[in-house]
């Protein structure tokens, strides 16, 4: 299959793109490289922004079979400080992509959604039918795009798979690709950097209603996440029906548990500076 991968120079996108190629698919990565890395893409890369329809024009007549849509701003805390940026990029950029698909006759899309659409759940486990109550503009922007996908299916027949990620972790097993954010906000790479003496470790919030007072998160390995996108494409091809899936492992680990494991594996008992909760 020929697959358009938006945001394919980023963390999850680049690892998924690599897996797609390994499975024999032809891919074209479309990325503005604001957060992505050119060196992470080994095949065709088109540098462009979804907010610029002229950039999308570079992809005309490629005859894609399916789109995997990763491209988005993805920091919940930042979205509360710069809401308009998230609304423009994640919603309006996504709308431009859908209109491009409509014009080009592309009838399938796999969407990189998020568990942030649920907000703070009232009960566990969280199912695909749980109440949607985003606690950040980021989560709201992803939920808004899911709703747009619903309407583009109903009106234009563009089928979709919403993959609602919990927390991606890890790297490509061959060590070729992994997390490389600037600034780095994710817990595990920050803890590793602290163990290496590269930063002072700050932990935000220790007053949550959990056994140790820190946030509990469900982590899924990034290669498992990448594999789920291939399964989503297979499911779309098989059923020709839109659907949504949560992607996690069903077990949570608190921030202090994760930090404790990094300390154990590294053998470095680095100090932790506790700070107030971050909004979002």
- Give the span between the Cα atoms of 153 and 160, in whole angstroms: 7
Q: Checking DSSP bridges between strand 252-254 and strand 26-31, what pairing results, if any?
A: unpaired
Known active-site residue 204: no
Determine how many CB atoms are found less than 10 A away from the CB of residue 50. Answer: 25
Give the separation between CA 165 and CA 152, rounded to whole angstroms: 22
Strands (DSSP E) contained in the chain are: 2-6, 26-31, 44-47, 66-69, 108-114, 159-165, 167-169, 201-204, 216-221, 243-247, 252-254, 272-275
- 3-class DSSP assignment, residue 16: helix
- If residue 234 lies in a helix (H) or strand (E), which one and from where to where? helix 222-239
With CA atoms as reference, report the closest residue to 261 among 174, 170, 184.
170
* Active-site hit among 86, 138, 165, 219: 138
Please, what is the end-to-end C-alpha distance for the chain in angstroms? Answer: 38
If you write DSSP's letter for every residue of 176-215 in order, what string do you get? S-----SS---HHHHHHHHHTTSS-EEEE-S-SSSTTSS-
CB 211 within 8 A of CB 158: no
Do residues 31 and 9 make contact, with C-beta atoms less than 8 angstroms apart? yes
What gap in Å lies between CA 254 and CA 234, rounded to an integer? 34
Question: Using CA atoms, how far apart are residues 115 and 255, in angstroms rounded to an integer?
Answer: 17
Active-site residue list: 138
């Amino acid at each position: 299959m020929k697959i358009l991968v938006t945001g394919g120079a980023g963390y999850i996108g680049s690892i998924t793109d690599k897996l797609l190629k390994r499975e024999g698919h032809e891919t074209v990565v479309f990325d503005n490289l604001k957060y992505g890395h050119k060196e992470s893409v080994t095949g065709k890369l088109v540098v462009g922004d979804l907010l610029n329809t002229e950039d999308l024009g570079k992809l005309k007549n490629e005859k894609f079979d399916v789109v995997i849509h990763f491209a988005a701003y993805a920091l919940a805390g930042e979205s509360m400080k710069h809401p308009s940026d998230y609304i423009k990029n994640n919603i309006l950029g996504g709308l431009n992509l859908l209109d491009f698909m409509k014009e080009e006759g592309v009838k399938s899309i796999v969407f990189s959604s998020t568990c942030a659409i649920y907000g703070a759940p009232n009960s566990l486990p969280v199912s695909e039918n749980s109440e949607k109550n985003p606690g950040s503009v980021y989560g709201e922007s992803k939920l808004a795009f899911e709703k747009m996908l619903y309407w583009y299916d109903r009106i234009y027949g563009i089928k979709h798979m919403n993959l609602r990620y919990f927390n991606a972790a890890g790297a490509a097993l061959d060590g070729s690709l992994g997390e490389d954010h600037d600034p780095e906000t994710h817990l595990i790479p920050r803890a590793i950097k602290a163990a290496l003496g590269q930063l002072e470790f700050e932990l935000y919030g220790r007053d949550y209603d959990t056994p140790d007072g820190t946030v509990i998160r469900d982590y899924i390995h990034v290669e498992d996440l990448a594999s789920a996108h291939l399964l989503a494409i297979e499911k779309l091809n098989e059923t020709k029906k839109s659907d949504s899936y949560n992607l996690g492992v069903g077990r949570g680990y608190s921030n202090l548990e994760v930090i404790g494991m990094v300390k154990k594996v590294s053998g470095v008992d680095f100090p932790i500076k506790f700070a107030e909760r971050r909004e979002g």
